[in-house]
Amino acid sequence: MNENAVSSLKRTSRHAGGGHQAGVTLIEALVALVVMSFGMIALVSLMGNLRFGADLAKQRGEAMRLAQAELETLRSYSLLTSADPSVVTFDDSDVALDSIKNSTRVVTPETSNTTFTVTRTVDPVKVDELVVAKSVRVMVTWTDRTGVDGSASKKGAPQSVTLDTLISRVDPSFSGSLGINAPDGGTRQPGARHPAIPVSAKDLGDKRSAFRPSDLGSTVWVFNNLTGVIVSTCSLAPSSELTASTLVGTCADEFAYLLSGSVRFSYTSPANPTLPEGSAMPLDLAIRQGFYVTPRVDATTRIAKKTPTGDLIWDTVTVQEPPFPADAAASAPAFTYVALPLHTCIDDAPSTTPTTQTVVNYNCIVRPDSVSKRWSGKLDLTGITIGMTSSEYRVCRYSADYNGNGTEYTKTGDYVIDNYEHPAVYSNVAGSLVRQNFLVIKGNVSCPTAPAVDSSARVFVDYSTKHHQP
């Protein structure tokens, strides 16, 4: 090879290795492909986990629904004993308490992709060998799709949901009590009697109670323990014991309501409604005739409102002794005439003053209309000098929106409250009323107010009063 050829090759070699190469090498491409493959594998795995999680959540929700449905079916038993106690209850058709036993069943919901096994375990709860309740555990099990790759030989992981409950042995007929309206003023039943019946009334043992409105008189009122209605009036010597046998032949049938409360006295300025310090004075009580404006009530004696605005419907009620005007019926209900109810009030007010007595207790028997079984009117104190000077007396009534529903019944900023909360005028009273209390103060002093119930401020009784007379 000559010198020119060698020189040409050297120049060519130097030219080829001296500049920058374009593109990527095969090794770099392979490395990028490997890295991308790892990322795709992780993404595919993530999508699989997300799908499995959603599937498991759906199955777990379905299992919880089956367990809850099973317990609700058992709780809603309609019989204590069944015709055939050996029959195990599975559905909601005439469930009997004694047929609630251990059981296992398989359920495949229509929209589910798996099959559930519902297992019920029941243990009796006994007191002196008497079954008073049943402890029930419901477990719902199923198999998820963990590890499934298309081959029938692989199985998923087991899953389960467990719920426990205690089913008391209570006669299902008591569920009908849920349809009975609670008595006004609360559901507390002293001595298993209506809360309007005085605590001092003697239980006669035949679902009736006898009460003496005055220890010095012969008058006895007999109450129905369930309704609190006075069903008979009797006359029995004060020295005689109140029993069902001693009252035989001394009573007359009656349908009347009790209206009771107390009267307290405070002569300071301002008056003290919480701890009244004044001594009692001679007085009486009576339901008065008058011309009143009251909110209209519906058939359930609830306050009726206009719709859709929600405004109150106000009626003018005239309470008087019959006869009524000839056009009285035509003007109802906007202008209504109602009969002054026959009533008798008995109290323990002192006959003279001064006295050490500080409280006057009163009890009135009020006979409602014979058809509607309701009465309306205003209970006033009588026998004392009513006025607005320091030598006269003002009557306040303990009254407030105790149940909290009166805020929606307002007129000129004042509450319209329920009958048992001691309104100025009773309207369509359909039951006995208790704790209708008054406070007598000096005529030139305003009726005192008090803070509302607030447990955080340790105020547990509302001693608010409203002006009542004059």
What are 388-440's pLDDT values in tens digits? 999 999 999 999 887 776 654 444 444 567 888 898 888 889 899 999 999 99
Given this model, what pLDDT does residue 153 score?
Answer: 38
Average pLDDT in the chain: 82
Torsion of CA 262, 267, 269, 270, to 10 degrees: -10
CA 32 centroid distance within chain: 70
Please state whether beta strands 335-339 and 314-320 pair in parallel, antiparallel, or not at all (unpaired). parallel
Q: Is the pLDDT of residue 6 over 50?
A: no
Mean predicted confidence (pLDDT) in 169-179: 72
Average pLDDT over residues 245-262: 95
Residues 6+ apart with CB under 8 A from 405: 418
How much is the average pLDDT of 77-85?
70
Could you tell me which of 228, 229, 233 has the C-alpha nearest to residue 256?
229
Q: How many helices (H) and strands (E) does the chain have?
A: 3, 22
